[in-house]
Structure 1
Amino acid sequence: MQAITDIGQAEIRAGGRRIFLNPSFLAMSRIGTPEDIVGAFVTVHGGHYPEHQISDVEVMRSIQARCFADMVVTAAKVVQAACDDDLRQVIGVCSVTPKGKLSYRPGLLPVSHIIQLARHLIRHGVVGDQPQEAASKGEGEYSGKFDARSFVYLAVAHLGMSESDAWNMTMTSFRAAMSAKYPPKEAAKIPTEQHYDEAMDWAEKMFALDAQRNGLH
């Protein structure tokens, strides 16, 4: 069972344990480099599944098996990054075999829950939760990296937060705080990063793509 808050934090209750998850900027940085974070976002949302059906059934199955294996391994990594405790008992231990298939030792949570939880965490950690219409700011361009430090520094400079507190913010809480301090009429005064707007547009495209691929995994 997961109790999920509106800023992206979650609590897992499994095996008699209550485990707190926070998809903070610090947690997102644990996933890897700025490029790794974007790669993880794409992977857990099914972005590497083929867009078109491949005529060779065996090849198609092999590709789908590899994509699913990568998705599960990445999802487990995202969930673990959001927690200070060792979660192997809860999320299990998984890896991708040399043949591109999933090697999995189950934990207390089923794989489907791990994927769903990872999508929730990384969305609130990288993009932030927002109404659909608020995200549509134009075409934008794909951004291949997510640098959490830039948002931490914006929080320190414009929200008067300490650096440690800023690192513990989720993107959802960061955006809410910035919107509260800088209403729409004053939004132009906020010095933003170009890749932030690009990420917003790109993420919406990823969510739409994922919705079309729900049947693949």
Structure 2
Amino acid sequence: MLPEAGFVRATLGDGTEYTFRPSFYRIASLGSPHEIVAIFAGLHGPHAEKDAAYVLACLCDQEDPSPLIGYLGETGWVPGAMPGAEMVIIAQHLMRHGIVGKARPGGEEGDGKFSDRFDAVEYISAARVHLGLSSHDAEALSMTEFQSMFEMKFPRSGDSKGRDVPTREEYEARMRQHEEMMRGRESR
């Protein structure tokens, strides 16, 4: 379970566990690219609890999360064990990690431009092509995981601060130093 990548686990008093994964595959199940963004926006509006229940139902590993999140009965909404405000907080967390991702390393933020759509297929394809993942593995990524893996594989020039992975320039400089040192030993 990787909470830092957006994954969440909730446990009922009887020990029943529910796991929520903001993977590209699950995020895509929420609706069309435009609907996904509308649902994310809805989590900050007057019907946030309804949207949160839908998000949690779609992103849950277990087939029936209704004991936790509630369900629509014949007479209206029947609440589950989780309070509505908590459902909203968790759904916002899942969506943030699923479609926005975390802030860039070093505190650098994205360009801040609004998009009215989120097309998970684009990110699944990018993970397959650039990271060499299978379809199944690419679909299982959250946006936060995707960004972290992409940063490790393709570090930005001069941006190795706080990471164990050197930039290409740092790697090449160290390799030149090593080759020079080896040539010096051979000439002795």
Tell me the TM-score normalized by structure 2.
0.75
Change (3 A) 1:39 1:186: farther
Deviation at 1:104, TM superposition (A): 2.8
Other-structure match for 1:162: 134
Other-structure match for 1:128: 101
The answer (yes or no) to whether the contact 2:98–2:144 under 8 Å persists in 1 is: yes
Other-structure match for 1:36: 35
The answer (yes or no) to whether the contact 2:28–2:36 under 8 Å persists in 1 is: yes
The answer (yes or no) to whether the contact 2:103–2:110 under 8 Å persists in 1 is: no
Is 1:71 aligned with 2:48? yes
Q: Deviations over 1:174-201 (max 9, x none)?
A: 00000010101299xxxxxxxxxxxxxx
Other-structure match for 1:49: none
Structure 1: runs of 5 or more not aligned? 47-66, 98-102, 188-217
Structure 2: runs of 5 or more not aligned? 160-188
Other-structure match for 2:8: 10
Other-structure match for 1:214: none
Other-structure match for 1:180: 152
**How many Å separate the matches in 2 of 1:136 and 1:123?**
13
Q: Residue 152 of structure 2 aligns to which amino acid in structure 1? A: A
Between Structure 1 and Structure 2, whose CA radius of gyration is higher? 2
Tell me the TM-score normalized by structure 1.
0.66
Deviation at 1:94, TM superposition (A): 4.7
Q: Secondary structure at the match of 2:108?
A: helix
Other-structure match for 1:215: none
Q: Deviations over 1:85-122 (max 9, x none)?
A: 21111101259x9xxxxx53110111111011100100
**How many Å separate the matches in 1 of 2:30 and 2:65?**
15
The answer (yes or no) to whether the contact 1:4–1:11 under 8 Å persists in 2 is: no
Q: Secondary structure at the match of 2:116?
A: coil
Q: Secondary structure at the match of 2:96?
A: helix
Q: CA RMSD in A?
A: 2.3
Q: Residue 122 of structure 1 aligns to which amino acid in structure 2? A: M
**How many Å separate the matches in 2 of 1:136 and 1:145?**
16
**How many Å separate the matches in 1 of 2:69 and 2:57?**
8
Q: Secondary structure at the match of 2:82?
A: coil
Other-structure match for 2:57: 80
Deviation at 1:45, TM superposition (A): 2.4
Other-structure match for 1:208: none
Q: Residue 37 of structure 2 aligns to which amino acid in structure 1? A: V
Other-structure match for 2:25: 26
Deviation >3 Å, runs of 4+: none
Q: Secondary structure at the match of 1:184?
A: coil
Q: Residue 175 of structure 1 aligns to which amino acid in structure 2? A: Q
Other-structure match for 1:91: 69
**How many Å separate the matches in 2 of 1:37 and 1:144?**
9
